[in-house]
Amino acid sequence: MTNEFIVESGGFTFVVPKNHNFKFELLEGQQIIDVAIWSKDNPKKEFLSMGHSLWKNGRFISLGSYLWSDYKKRRVIAKCVDETWFESSNEGWYHHLLQGYCDDEENQGRGSCKTNFLNSIKEFGLGVEHLNDNTINLFEKVMVSGGRNLLFSADSDATKGDQITFQSYIDLLISVSLCPTIHNKTETDSNYNLETKDPDYHYDFIDRVNSIKISVNPNKLPYQVYE
């Protein structure tokens, strides 16, 4: 199956058959993309396991990273097979990671990835009870800092034409959200608020989101089973 989708705003859900490559490409400029992943055949039971993927893969996603599900049998459901190389990676910055999604309350009614997901998975019979932290975030700029191993974020390096590509290991259902926020540039090495004991995850809002292209193509490379 070959498919191409342009997403200009909100959320969008699509199917990727097993052993296909699916690519997310920035068409206009930097844009945080939240991506939720389910098994197409059994989305209510099997989906990306953030917990197990953290355990096996670590928090950051880059070339060679595996994403796992955790149902009757834990298995690899996708692998990162290509990505734009960022110079800042040499300094320890990461650009893609296992992370949740913003919601309406914290965005004060300005829309959110959660709402974008929910709007776009409705037609596949899924609702809020099927969003299980089964998400990754793409095109950010983060590193781990400080004794609590919390994330330190900076203005993203990503720009028009940057891409990241995954290979599917099973039939997948994938929802993307163009995030209406951008992470604040932080000037210290801590985004943890000692007064409130809460991580200080303040966001800036962007005037308009930048559109992306999603390409789905059969994988022509040999199928490499995870070992």
Binding residues for Zn ion (CB under 5 A) = 102, 113, 179
| 67 versus 102: smaller Cβ distance to Zn ion | 102
Q: How would you class 59 by CB atoms within 10 Å of its CB: exposed for 0-12, middle for 13-18, buried for 19 or more?
A: middle
Six-digit token pair at 122?
Answer: 């409705």
Three-state SS at 72? coil
| 69 versus 137: smaller Cβ distance to Zn ion | 137
Shortest separation between residue 186's beta carbon and Zn ion, angstroms: 17
Shortest separation between residue 97's beta carbon and Zn ion, angstroms: 13
Shortest separation between residue 195's beta carbon and Zn ion, angstroms: 26
Residue 85 CB: number of other CB atoms within 10 A?
11
| 105 versus 227: smaller Cβ distance to Zn ion | 105
Closest CA to 50 of 133, 122, 118, 171: 133
Phi, psi for 127 (deg, rounded to 5): -140, -165
| 38 versus 139: smaller Cβ distance to Zn ion | 139
CA angle 122, 202, 142 (to 5 degrees): 85
Shortest separation between residue 29's beta carbon and Zn ion, angstroms: 16
Q: How far is 129 from 142, CA to CA, in rounded Å?
A: 29
| 17 versus 100: smaller Cβ distance to Zn ion | 100
Shortest separation between residue 210's beta carbon and Zn ion, angstroms: 13
| 23 versus 183: smaller Cβ distance to Zn ion | 183
Strand 20-26 to 135-145 pairing: unpaired
Determine the length of the chain: 227
In which element (H, E) is residue 51 found?
helix 50-57
Shortest separation between residue 18's beta carbon and Zn ion, angstroms: 28
Q: How far is 8 from 6, CA to CA, in rounded Å?
A: 6
